[in-house]
Amino acid sequence: MAKPALFTPIKLGKLELANRIVIAPMCQYSATDGCMNDWHLMHLGHLAISGAAMLTIEATGVLPEGRITYADVGLYDDATEAAMRRTLDAVRYCSDIPIAIQLSHAGRKASTEVPWKKSTQFAPGSELGWQTEAPSAVPFSKDNLAPNALDRDGLKRVREAFVAAAHRAHRVGIDAIQLHVGHGYLLHQFISPLSNHRDDEYGGSLENRIRYPLEVFNAVRDAFSGDKTVTIRISGTDWVEGGWDIEQTVAFAQAAEKLGCDAIHVTSGGLHPAQQIPVGPNYQVPLARTVKQAVKMPVVAVGLITGFEQAEAIVGTGDADLIAIARTILYDPRWPWHAAAELGAKVRAPNPYLRSQPRRFKDLFESE
């Protein structure tokens, strides 16, 4: 019997993954001054023994003002680096799963309240807020404050912050970096004409709008120990007329591939409050399929992927090379175990957990 496509190995650059299931970055809004704590140790620790092929750390601010909220994880100074090292050392005690990190800057969507409290954007100078920055002085919504438009010094400062975070990620032993160019955050703000109204070489044409994110990618790739894996997560469309769309995404993906991008993870939305998202199972898979048809690098699909056969079909039919799960694995932290059992595959499990194997799935586990 052929091995299910979902459980065949794949390489992202030089990084070898045991199967096609990766854990997407999920903000926890639980850090203190950018520092990971015991919550992150528990959260990442139990996901690390899930059987997935790679674990991605949540959107991590490369600057304090690049965090979405005051409670976001950062990687911008010695304290945040030390806190992350402590967490990862503990996680690796339990698992050797490859660990990626999503580096991000929230741009105009920064300085907000954590999502389970009343939605608000804090004003500059308030206890929990600061001045936001963006490609142009265009607020996210009518209820938000206008950001400062980044000047040349600001562009250099942010780019250098991404580079510094990449060096810190290397020092703490991160296996891969994912650059966040989606969900309406800073690098997405540059590529969308809805948020980028610049009249210099970083605004206007598609070539100009993608210039800065590609410059950041180049700098991060060069800084991250040369041959380590660097990928991109991008919103395939804004779901708003006149905004970023799948045709532009394909052009961006092809440009990134030429620069050495090792994989592209296709999500969508987040840029504009007028978005009309057709949410449902597989709703973003057509975006991944379109990108995959245009590039040779691996493509990751994400978004309401909850079923085992559903995930197998996405990979097996070639719509994408990998699937990413987020809410699904929060609800069922052993989803990859259950997928392997259902599809007749094997998955790695910690030795102390081997005896949890149900008798009807006697060949499910491989020991670490």
Active site residues: 185
* CB-CB contact of 243 with 193 (8 Å): yes
DSSP 175-191: SEEEEEE-TTSHHHHHH
Taking the C-alpha atoms of residue 262 and residue 255, their distance in angstroms, rounded to an integer, is 12
Q: For residues 229 and 265, is the Cβ–Cβ distance under 8 A?
A: no
Helix (H, G, I), strand (E, B) or coil at 235: strand
b/e map of 126-152 (b: 16 or more CB within 10 Å)?
eeebbebbbbbebbbeeebeebebbee
**Are 289 and 40 contacting, i.e. CB atoms less than 8 angstroms apart?**
no
CB atoms within 10 A of CB 332: 15
DSSP character at residue 300: E
